[in-house]
Amino acid sequence: MSSCLEEKHSRIFVTGPIIVGAGPSGLSVAACLSNRGVPSVILERTDCLASLWQKRTYDRLKLHLPKHFCELPLMKFPRNFPRYPSKQQFISYVESYAARFNIKPVFNQTVEKAEFDVASGLWTVKTQDAVYSSTWLVVATGENAEPVIPDIPGLKKFTGPVVHTSAYKSGSEFANRKVLVVGCGNSGMEVCLDLCRYNSLPHMVVRNSVHVLPRDFFGLSSFGIAMTLLKWFPLKLVDNLLLLLAYLSLGNTDRLGLRQPKTGPIELKNVTGKTPVLDVGAISLIQSGQIRVMQAVKEITKKGAKFVNGQEMEFDSIILATGYKSNVPYWLKDNSFFTKEGMPKTPFPNGWKGENGLYTVGFTRRGLLGTAFDAVKIAEDITDHWMKMNGPLSSSNVCSSHIIHFDFNKS
């Protein structure tokens, strides 16, 4: 199975699972395995933990849900953290989490190819530096691995800056400018809000219908209210109650150009993965005219944009708040478990396990809550297999060194 190129790399056998990705998903699985005495190796393409949070998020970002819904397995947030921790607070939590469970990823390792070898019964994972082999492979790169750049006619013609939100840090870079923001999800709304702090004039493109809910209602989290009600009432009734709360708090958002989907917010999230916007102040700025809502873009021009309703306007900058996608199809070979979009074909809550020792985490479309659920399941399953192969867990069969090197460069 090995090519001539692979023979030039160090070959490393991992006694526990190989985990691809050192974000919250990969760290959660590694921590749950460590807690059960099972070793693992995490391969991370960047030089840090939680690179999406550290390198590709804007400065004002906070958790959209209360912290107790975003805890990783086996470790709570510090008590002194606010209900909605900031970006830096979440990063510090992740770093403390890795330290607590002694998780030390192998950084700067971009996985170029991973495939299952039927003959050996092992997964082979090739990076630029080495070829790793293991009985188990955990795909933890998640649903937000790569920025989505939309194919808008004329985008390359625009003479001003075009920035995806993955590269956006602060509205200070766009002070006093007229900015076209493409996308009206949580990122699009918050970027518009941030731009207003620096006297920019954001024009937000709303192409599809969108649910907007207040993040909090009379001091209670809307998400928390929904989770509590779902324990007692059917989903459609809870959706209707949430929409009533939204109307009482925010008014009729249809009049603002934010058309409401026919399907309720929770049902829509479960079926399509589309998250409702949790408003933290953008709606009031739309109502006051500080944020302008625009229809879909027909074409980008050298100095601005033409819209489907016939309007044409000039802009100084364009920000693409168009989300992210999975990158699994680029490196996981010959596997029928994932769709061509890189998402598990089996829906939550059963999408965490494939065949031949393949596992996935971070693909539930349910945020960190879904990640924690899958991580616990994966660790339990791998531990069962580990015990059958290695006997009951003890200090004698769980050694500190859990990789074996075969360096062909030295032969």
- Give the CATH number of domain 148-323: 3.50.50.60
Which amino acid is residue 72, in one-letter code? L
Q: Is 135 within 8 Å of 123 (Cβ atoms)?
A: yes
A 10 A CB-CB count for 95 gives 15
**What DSSP element (H or E) covers 89?**
helix 87-100
pLDDT average, residue stretch 125-131:
95
- Give the CATH number of domain 10-145+326-406: 3.50.50.60
pLDDT at 86 over 70: yes
- Integer Cα distance of 19 and 109 in angstroms: 12
pLDDT average, residue stretch 21-49:
97
Annotated domain spans of the chain: 10-145+326-406, 148-323
The closest alpha carbon to 279, from 166, 369, 190, 165, belongs to: 190
pLDDT average, residue stretch 223-250:
94
- Integer Cα distance of 143 and 135 in angstroms: 24
The structure tokens 């970027």 sit at: 191
- Integer Cα distance of 194 and 94 in angstroms: 25
Q: Which pLDDT tens digit goes with each residue over 47-57?
A: 999 999 999 99
Q: How confident is the model at residue 339 (pLDDT cuts 50, 70, 90)?
A: very high
More confident residue, 4 or 217: 217
Q: Is 177 within 8 Å of 228 (Cβ atoms)?
A: no
Whether 10-145+326-406 and 148-323 share one fold: the answer is: yes
Q: Which pLDDT score, from 0 to 100, does residue 8 have?
A: 59
Which amino acid is residue 382, in one-letter code? I
- Rg of the Cα trace of the chain? 23
Tell me the DSSP string of 214-241: ESEETTEEHHHHHHHHTTTS-HHHHHHH
Q: Is 253 within 8 Å of 260 (Cβ atoms)?
A: yes
